[in-house]
């Protein structure tokens, strides 16, 4: 059983974070918070013309994530009921850093911080890490048309921003699962090893799981 009640599973595009969140929720029960990314009306346009639609895309995600988490907080006691989310709210700021220019990011950062102080941080932050090559394979395999244009250089920039965030926020309990050589969906042994790792207690800081 998990040692923590409010757990976030995040990762780059195509890492398998939502799949893993669903698997944990199904096995352990509890409440599941899934990002409604397909509802973002700007997302397909962003992939086609990122410079033109980045700000609208990130603002929509910011507001949507905030509303979803606030509604969950109103309904649940996150620290006394198991809740698993497939995103951390700070994801909005991290992707904005990757996608917005200087003035746009400065404005976004101000708005983000107005929301951020209103939300709790996870007790355990699980980051599913895959290299850009593996991510591209996964993206191609799942076949979402608008994602097929994503470049390895973009995925690598997002990865770098996440790890910079990890280094600067040592108060968080962060478990990085290196998943290039894992198939936790089809290989029950891989899933069991991950499950064993995430049900342990962790001190604040970065912890790596390499199997």
pLDDT tens sequence across 144-166: 655 665 778 888 999 999 999 99
Lowest mean per-residue pLDDT among 11-15, 101-105, 174-178? 11-15
What number of CA atoms fall less than 13 Å from residue 210's CA on the CB side?
1
Tell me the average pLDDT of the chain. 90
CA–CA separation, 110 and 133 (whole Å):
34
The mean pLDDT value for 164-172 works out to 96
Q: Which of 68, 82, 7, 3 is nearest to 39 (CA)?
A: 68
Q: Which residues contact 147 (CB under 8 A, 6 or more apart)?
A: 13, 14, 47, 139
- pLDDT over threshold 80, residue 37: no
The pLDDT of 186-196, averaged and rounded, is 94
- Residues 194 and 57: their CA atoms lie apart, in Å, by 33
CATH number of 6-34+43-210: 3.40.50.300
- Give yes or no for residue 124 having a pLDDT over 80: yes
pLDDT at 146: 56
The answer to whether 49 and 169 are in contact (CB under 8 A) is no
Question: What pLDDT, on the 0 to 100 scale, is given for residue 177?
Answer: 96
Amino acid 149: pLDDT: 59
Secondary-structure percent of the chain, ordered helix, strand, coil, rounded to 5: 55, 15, 30
For residue 145, the model assigns a pLDDT of: 56
Q: Is 195 helix (H, G, I), strand (E, B) or coil?
A: helix
Q: What is the DSSP letter of 117?
A: T
Query: Of the residues 39, 51, 64, 86, which is catalytic?
Result: 86
| Residue 86 a catalytic site member | yes
**Given this model, what pLDDT does residue 137 score?**
83
Greater confidence (138 vs 39) lies with 39
In the chain, the percentage of residues whose pLDDT exceeds 90 is 66
Structure tokens that stand for 169 in this block: 């926020």
Which residue shows structure tokens 């850009």? Answer: 132
Instruction: List the single range of 42-46, 58-62, 175-179 with lowest mean pLDDT.
Output: 42-46
pTM of the model: 0.92
């Amino acid at each position: 059983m998990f040692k923590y009640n409010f757990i976030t599973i995040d990762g780059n595009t195509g890492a398998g974070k939502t799949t893993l969140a669903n698997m944990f929720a199904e096995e352990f029960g509890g409440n599941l918070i899934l990002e409604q990314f397909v509802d973002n009306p700007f997302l397909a346009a962003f992939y086609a013309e990122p410079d033109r639609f980045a700000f609208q895309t990130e603002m929509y995600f910011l507001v949507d994530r905030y509303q979803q988490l606030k509604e969950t907080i109103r309904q649940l006691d996150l620290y006394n009921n198991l809740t698993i989310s497939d995103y951390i709210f700070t994801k909005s700021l991290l992707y904005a850093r990757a996608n917005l220019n200087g003035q746009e990011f400065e404005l976004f950062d101000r708005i983000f911080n107005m929301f951020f102080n209103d939300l709790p941080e996870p007790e355990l932050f699980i980051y599913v890490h895959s290299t850009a090559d593996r991510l591209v394979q996964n993206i191609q395999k799942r076949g979402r048309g608008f994602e097929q244009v994503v470049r390895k250089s973009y995925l690598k920039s997002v990865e770098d921003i996440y790890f910079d965030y990890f280094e600067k926020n040592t108060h968080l309990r962060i478990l990085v699962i290196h998943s290039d050589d894992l198939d936790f969906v089809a290989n029950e042994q891989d899933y069991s090893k991950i499950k064993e790792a995430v049900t342990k207690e962790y001190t604040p800081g970065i912890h790596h799981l390499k199997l």
